[in-house]
């Protein structure tokens, strides 16, 4: 495995759009996504065009690409960003053949580092569907701390669902 995690280029946003639009109904249900809430492909691309024109400090979202041997295998996004304070992350292994191989844990750890660095965060939250065991295991293994399980609509693509809230805090800097 030669995993690379980096900021997503605007030309790569179809990775996200195609992932959601091509996912079968049972997978969307598992991740808590309502197909009826997915934006049309062209509307979604237009939204990302606007996002990528914003300075990082004012962006609604920051997108990361996960590559293994230069092949896209997943992505992460951060939203609900309060620059310099906190954000919420999402994680998706898009290549079904790469799931359950340990890739997610390492990709999440590297994503966390980039979010803390790029957004100057103090805390990063993640709220996967409570019944989706894979991301909940991944977050624990990546150093996130369990906060609570509650029912909410986590985002604009989601239906009302039980989610598990996790948090990771930026390590305190050591004085040298």
The 10s digit of each residue's pLDDT in 80-111 is 999 999 999 999 988 766 666 777 889 999 99
Give me the residue spans of the domains in the chain.
Answer: 3-169
Query: What strands lie across the sheet with 161-169, from one edge to the other?
Result: 3-7, 62-68, 71-82, 86-93, 123-126, 161-169, 145-152
pTM over 0.85: yes
Q: What is the pLDDT of residue 98?
A: 61
Written as six digits, the tokens of 173 are 């800097």
Percent of all residues in the chain with a pLDDT value above 90, rounded to a whole number: 84
Out of 3.40.630.30, 3.30.450.20, 2.30.330.10, 1.10.420.10, which CATH number does the structure's domain 3-169 have? 3.40.630.30
């Amino acid at each position: 495995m030669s995993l690379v995690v980096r900021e997503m280029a605007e030309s790569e946003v179809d990775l996200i759009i195609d992932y959601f639009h091509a996912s079968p109904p049972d997978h969307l249900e598992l991740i808590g996504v309502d197909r009826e809430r997915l934006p049309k492909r062209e509307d979604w691309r237009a939204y990302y065009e606007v996002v990528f024109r914003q300075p990082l400090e004012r962006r609604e979202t920051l997108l990361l690409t996960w590559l293994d041997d230069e092949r896209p295998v997943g992505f992460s996004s951060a939203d609900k960003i309060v620059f310099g304070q906190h954000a919420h992350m999402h994680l998706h292994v898009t290549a079904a053949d790469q799931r359950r191989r340990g890739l997610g844990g390492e990709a999440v750890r590297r994503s966390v580092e980039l979010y803390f660095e790029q957004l100057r965060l103090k805390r990063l939250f993640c709220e996967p569907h409570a019944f989706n065991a894979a991301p909940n295991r991944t977050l624990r293994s990546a150093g996130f701390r369990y906060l609570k399980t509650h029912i909410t609509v986590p985002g604009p693509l989601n239906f009302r669902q039980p989610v598990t809230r996790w948090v990771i805090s930026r390590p305190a800097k050591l004085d040298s």
